[in-house]
Structure 1
Amino acid sequence: MAQNKILTVSAQVALGIRCLLVPNSTSPTHGDTLFDVAFEGVYSLCDIEVAKEVEQINNEQIKNNMREMKRKLKGKSSPLAIEIYNYLDKVEVDNLGWWDPFASQVISDDSDLVLNLPRNVYHNFMEPLRRMKIKAPFSIKEIRYAFVEGFDKDKPEILQPKWHHNCTWRETNEELAVITTGILESLNIIWRNPAFEAQYAKTQSEGTYVTDVIIPLFHMALKKLPIKNNAFISTKASADRKGGGKQGKRPDIMFIEEHRVCPEQKKDNDNVKLWREMNDGLYWVYSGCRPDKNEFSIIGIQIVGDTLHFNNIIKDMEDIHRLYHLFSVKIPIRPTGREEVFQFIEALLNLRNITITNMSLLYHSSEARSQRLRKRSSTISSDN
C-alpha cells in the first residue's frame, strides 16, 4: 500500500515535469530526454524510500512480540487477560507497523482493543488511570477565582514513606496553594508580556516560547519536590541506554516533545516518537530496578502550540505495557476564563503529584535481577 501511494505521487510529479518541459508536444524532443531523466530519478528516490520503509517494519520482531504477549497471558484468569489473549488470535501482523503501540507490546487506552472491551473489563483496564487523576480541592478553585477576577494589566526536603497512586494528594492543601500561587505568578508575567498578545502570536519564535512560557510554568509546577538528592528527574540518558555498556545511575522518567508551530503530520510523528521513548524508558527503569508494577509510570509530555498533552505508560502485573492519555489542556498564554485556568492548574498539580509518587516508588524499589535475565525492549526498531 505504501509503495503504491509513493509510486502514484511520483507519477503525478513526473507528469507535471513533462507538461512543463514539453507542453502541447507528442514527438520525442530534448524535453522528453530531460523528462525521462527526471522521471527515472523520481522513481529511483521512491525505490530508496520504499526500501528504507520496508527495513523499518520488522514483521518477525512484531510476531515475536505477539507470541511474547500470549506467553505472558497464557493461563491468566482475569477477564482482561482473557480478552487480550483472545484478541491476539485475531490480530493480523501484516497490518501492524513500528508506529503502532500494540506491535511493541503496548496497549493504548484509545486503541480499538480497549475501546471495544466489555464495560466491566474496560473499567478494570482504566482503573490505574482513575486512581491517578484527582479533582483539585475547592481551595484551589478559590485561589483561581481570586487570581482571575483580580487580574489587572528553604527548608531541606525529606523523602516521605513509600507512596502509591491512590487518589490522594501527597501535599497538604496549604502546600498545593503555594505551588498554585507560583504558577499563577508565572502566568501573570506571561499575560503582561506584549510578545504574547494575539497580533504577535504567530511570529513568536520557538526559543522565546520555550524560555518565557514553558520553562517558567514547569519550574513552578515541579520545584521543591519532596525527594532526596539521589532520586531526581534526570536530563541525561543512562549509560546503558546510550550503548555505553554500563548501567547508568539514574534512568529518565519524563520525556517532553515540544513544537511551537506543529502541522497535523508533525504532531502525529512526534506522538509516535514520544510513546516510543516512553516505552524504552520504562524498559530501562526496570532493567536497573523493580518499582511496583501497575503503579510506577514514565511520563510523556507533548507540547503542540498552546496545547499540553500529558501521557504516561506503566507495566501491569502481567508485564504488559499500558499507555494512558492523562490530560489535554490549553496553555493560557493570554488572559482567559476561569475554567481554562483551573483546568491548566489542575493538570500541572496532577503532574506534580504523579511525579512525587513515581519518585517515591523508584527510590523504594528493589534492585533488578541479574543482567543475564533481562529482556530487550519491546519497542519495534525504526532504524534504517
Structure 2
Amino acid sequence: MSRNIVHDKTWKENISALEKRAERILSVLGDIWNNPAFENSTTRKEQSEGTYITDVVIPLLRASLEDMPNGNICLSTAERQSLASKFRRNSGEVSKERMGKKPDAMALVNYGGRINELVYAECSRIICNDTKKSNDEVKLWRETLDGISFVNLVCRPLNNQFGIVGVQVAGEDIYLNVLVNDAGGLSRYFHIDHAEIPLTVKSPRRVKPLLRLLLTLRNIMIVNKSLLMQALEQAISNPPRNVNPSPTVSTPPYNN
C-alpha cells in the first residue's frame, strides 16, 4: 500500500499511466458511439434509466477506477442498500429496522473483512427534468454524509484530506462532488468538476472535459483509498472515539 499520499493538486500516476487510462476511457466512448441506442435524439429518448446506467455510466466509471495502483475497487451496480445509510437510519432506534438508501452504484473496498463505501452514484434517464435532478442532488448529499459519518465511527482518516465521493449523472451532464470533514469536524460538500457525456462522435468538444473529470475521480480515489487503509490500520491499536453527525456546508452549484 502506498503511504504518505495526500491531496496536493498533483497526479499520483505518471504520464504513461495516465495516457493508458485515457486510452481505455476513449475505447469505452468508442463502444458508446457504435451503440445504435444512442445514435440520435429519437432513439436516446426511448432508453430507460437502467439502459443508460448499464451501457454508458458504469462502463465510464469502471474505465476510470479499474487497475488502481494501490489495489482494486469493486464497482457495485446491484442497487444494494448502503451499509452506512442503514447504520445511520437505525442508530438509536428501538423500533423496526429501517432499510438504507440504495444508490444506483457504489464503489466499495473490502479491507480487513470490513466493507467500506467510498463512492456513491445517482443517475437519471438521458432525458432528465429539474425535479429528478434536484431530488438526486439531495439524495447524493445525504448518502455522502452517511458515508463520512460511518467511516468516522470506524476510524479517523485525516480531516481536510479524506472524503466520500458523489457522482451525479443528470441527463447528459455528469457532476463530481466530494464531502470532506474540515479541521473543525464540519462536513463540507465540494463541487469539484462538471462535464457533458458525448453520446455520439459528433460531440468532440465534450471529450476532453469528460477525460479530465474521470481522471480526477481516479486521482481522488487513489489518495482516499490510501488514507482510509492507513486510518483503519491505526484504529486497530487506537480505537477512535465516536463522531457525531455534523452540519454540512456546500459550495455553490454549477450554473448551467
- Of 100, 114, 122, which residue of structure 2 is paired with 1:249? 114
Give, in angstroms, the shift of residue 279 of structure 1. Answer: 1.1
Give, in angstroms, the shift of residue 237 of structure 1. Answer: 1.9
- Of 289, 302, 316, which residue of structure 1 is paired with 2:155? 289
Q: Which amino acid aligns with 1:211?
A: T
Residues 340 and 170 of structure 1: is their aligned pair in 2 closer, same or farther, counting only changes over 3 Å?
same
8 Å CA contact retained: 2:49, 2:124: yes
1:217 and 2:53 correspond: no
**Two-structure CA RMSD over aligned residues (Å):** 2.4
TM-score (norm 2): 0.77
Mapped to 2, the partners of 1:242 and 1:264 lie a distance apart of 27
Partner of 1:183: 25
Q: Percent identity?
A: 36
Mapped to 1, the partners of 2:115 and 2:55 lie a distance apart of 28
Matches of residues 32-43 of structure 1 in structure 2 within 5 Å? Answer: none
Higher-strand-fraction structure: 2
Give, in angstroms, the shift of residue 301 of structure 1. Answer: 0.7
Structure 1: gaps of 5 or more residues: 1-158
Give, in angstroms, the shift of residue 233 of structure 1. Answer: 5.1
Q: Which amino acid aligns with 1:367?
A: A
Mapped to 1, the partners of 2:244 and 2:52 lie a distance apart of 38
Partner of 1:197: 39
1:208 and 2:47 correspond: no
For the pair shown, the structure with the greater C-alpha radius of gyration is: 1
Structure 2: gaps of 5 or more residues: 77-81, 93-112, 249-256
Partner of 1:59: none
Higher-helix-fraction structure: 1
Give, in angstroms, the shift of residue 243 of structure 1. Answer: 4.4
Partner of 2:2: 160
Mapped to 2, the partners of 1:183 and 1:190 lie a distance apart of 11
Matches of residues 34-73 of structure 1 in structure 2 within 5 Å? Answer: none
Give, in angstroms, the shift of residue 259 of structure 1. Answer: 1.0
8 Å CA contact retained: 2:153, 2:242: yes
Give, in angstroms, the shift of residue 205 of structure 1. Answer: 2.0
Partner of 1:377: 245
1:173 and 2:15 correspond: yes
Mapped to 2, the partners of 1:354 and 1:172 lie a distance apart of 15
Mapped to 1, the partners of 2:156 and 2:52 lie a distance apart of 38
Give, in angstroms, the shift of residue 185 of structure 1. Answer: 0.6
What secondary structure does 2:115 align onto? coil
